[in-house]
Amino acid sequence: MPEPLPTKLETGANKMSVLLAHDHKFRQVARMLYSNGGLGNDILARYAGYFDAVTVVARIIDQDRIDGKMSDIVDKRVRILSFAAIGEQMLREEVRAADVVIGRLPSRIGLRVIEEAQRQKKSYAVEVVGCPWDALWNHSLKGKLAAPMMTLLTKKAVKNAPNALYVTDQFLQQRYPCRGNSVSCSDVELPETDEGILWHRLERIRGREPSQPLIIGTMAATDVRYKGQEYVIRAIAELKKQGVSARYWIIGSGNTAYLQSVSEAYSVTENVIFVGSLPHQQVFEYLDKLDIYVQPSLVEGMPRALIEAMSRACPAVGSRVGGIPELLDEECVFEGKNVQELTEKLVSCARSMEKEAVRNFNKAKDFSPEKLREKRDAFYLGLKK
C-alpha cells in the first residue's frame, strides 16, 4: 500500500496547489481508493500535470470488493478527501490553503466549495461538465423536485465565476453562461486516428450485402433508464414491421431485466443481444463490427462512447440532448424518446453510411490530444498566473 499523503497541503514558495470539488464517488476497498468514470486516473493525471499538489473533495463509498471497471488511484500527487468526513472547519482550511479552487459542476460539493471560496474572497474556476436540469429531471421523482433549485444555483455559480471551462462548444454555454473568461474543451481525449480505420470502414460498407442484418449498437450502463436503450429496442420492432432485418447489440454493465422485458413486450428478443461489459481494448473491436452506432440518451454532456464510435468511422445516430447535436450531422439527430423519428433516422443513415463514415471520422479528429492540450494549457496555465 502506498504511503498516505499528508492531511494538510505542504507547498513550497514555487509550488502550486489545486483544490478540486465534485460529487464523484470514489470506492474504498481495504483502505485503498479506486475510481472509474468521470474522475479516473487519466483525468486526475491531467490536473497533476498542471499543479504540484492536487486535493480532491468528493464522496468516498466503502465497498467489499473490486469490480472490473475500477482502477486504483496511483498518482501520489493526488489526495482524496471525503466531503462527509472532513467537516466544515477543515473544508475552510483546505480552501484557504489552495492556490487554485475549482468546482466541477453540476455537484453539490462543487457548489459548497465555490460558496466558501466566495466567502473568503478567493478567485475560483468552474468546470461545467453536465446539465443539472436534464440529469435530475430524468432521474426520479426526487430528482424532479431538486432540479429547479440545483439548476438555479448552478447558473448563479457559473455566471459569477471568473473562469469557466465547458465540455461542449455551445449547449452548456447557452444554458449556463459565464461573465468571466471561458474556454470550450472536452474531457474526452482520443489517441491519434489512423487513416486506415476509415479505409477499412468504407471497404466494409461497400462489401455489405443488402440481405445482411443491420448491426446497431449502444455502449452504456444497462440499468440506467435515461441512457435510452429501450427506445432503440422499440425502433428495432418498427424496423421489423417494415421488413428491415436488424440486430441491436447492447454493450455495458448493469442489470438487464428491464430492457429484456421491453424486448419481450415488443417481440424482438431474438434481435437484441446483451454483450455485457467489455475491457476497453475490446471496445474498438466491437465498434468496428457495427453498421450504425446509436446514442439514444435523455441526458448527456459530451458522450465519450459516441466520440469513440466516430473515431472508428462508424455512422451514428443520436438524440437531441447535450453535446450530441454538436457532434453529428443534423440528418442523424432525433428527439429523445421519439421512436418513430429514431426509426426514420436509422433507415436514412443506413442509406448514407459512406458519407456519415467519412464525416464522423474527420469530426473525431477534433478530440486529438494536441488540439485539446492547447485549450487546456490556455485555461489551467491562465489560472496559475
Q: Could you tell me which residue, 194 or 1, shows the higher pLDDT? A: 194
Does residue 281 carry a pLDDT above 90?
no
Task: Indicate if the pLDDT at residue 139 is higher than 90.
Answer: no
Does residue 170 carry a pLDDT above 50?
yes
Grid cell locating 71: 482502477
**Domain residues of the chain, as ranges?**
17-189+370-384, 195-365
- Residue 40 binned pLDDT confidence (cut-offs 50, 70, 90): confident
Across 132-136, 186-190, 206-210, 336-340, which has the greatest mean pLDDT? 336-340
Tell me the pLDDT tens digit for each residue of 79-96.
Answer: 999 999 999 999 999 999
CATH class of 17-189+370-384: alpha beta
Averaged pLDDT score across all residues of the chain: 90
* Tens-digit pLDDT profile for residues 196-207: 999 999 999 999
Strand partners, 295: 318
Closest residue by Cα to residue 35 from 86, 69, 83? 69
Q: 195-365 has which fold?
A: Rossmann fold (3.40.50)
pLDDT for residue 14: 59
The proportion of the chain whose per-residue pLDDT surpasses 90, expressed as a percent, equals 70
Measured from the Cβ of residue 61, the count of other Cβ atoms closer than 10 Å reads: 11
Confidence of residue 187 (pLDDT cuts 50, 70, 90): confident
3-state SS, residue 184: strand
Enter the DSSP assignment of 50: H
Residue 12's pLDDT is: 43
The rounded distance, in Å, linking the Cα atoms of 77 and 51 is 9
- Does residue 284 register a pLDDT over 60? yes
Q: Which of 251-255, 278-282, 356-360 has the highest mean pLDDT?
A: 356-360
Which residues are CB-contacts of 49 (< 8 A; sequence separation ≥ 6)?
none
- Mean of the pLDDT values across residues 17-31? 91
Tens of pLDDT, residue by residue over 301-323, are 889 999 999 999 999 999 999 99
What is the per-residue pLDDT for 11?
42
Which positions ≥6 away from 367 have C-beta within 8 Å?
186, 188, 189, 190, 307, 311
Contact 321, 348 (CB under 8 A): no
Q: What is the pLDDT of residue 43?
A: 87
Q: How far apart are CA 229 and CA 337, in angstroms?
A: 10
Q: Confidence class of residue 2 from pLDDT cuts 50, 70 and 90?
A: very low
What is the average per-residue pLDDT within 119-143? 90
Rounded distance between C-alpha atoms, residue 358 and residue 344, angstroms: 21
Q: Which residues contact 234 (CB under 8 A, 6 or more apart)?
A: 262, 266, 339
Q: Measure the N-to-C terminal CA separation of the chain; round to a whole number of Å.
A: 36
Whether the predicted pLDDT of 135 surpasses 90: no
* DSSP structural state of residue 2: P
Residue 223 has pLDDT above 80, yes or no: yes
SS (H, E, C) 86-140: HHHHHHHHHHHHCCEEEEEECCHHHHHHHHHHHHCCCCEEEEECCCHHHHHHCCC
At 129, phi and psi to the nearest 5?
-110, 0
At 22, is the secondary structure helix, strand, or coil?
A: strand
pLDDT grade for 68, boundaries at 50, 70 and 90: low
Q: Which residue has the higher pLDDT, 258 or 29?
A: 258
H/E stretch holding 306 reads: helix 304-311
Average pLDDT over residues 317-337: 95
Residue 3 has pLDDT above 70, yes or no: no
pLDDT at 347 over 90: yes
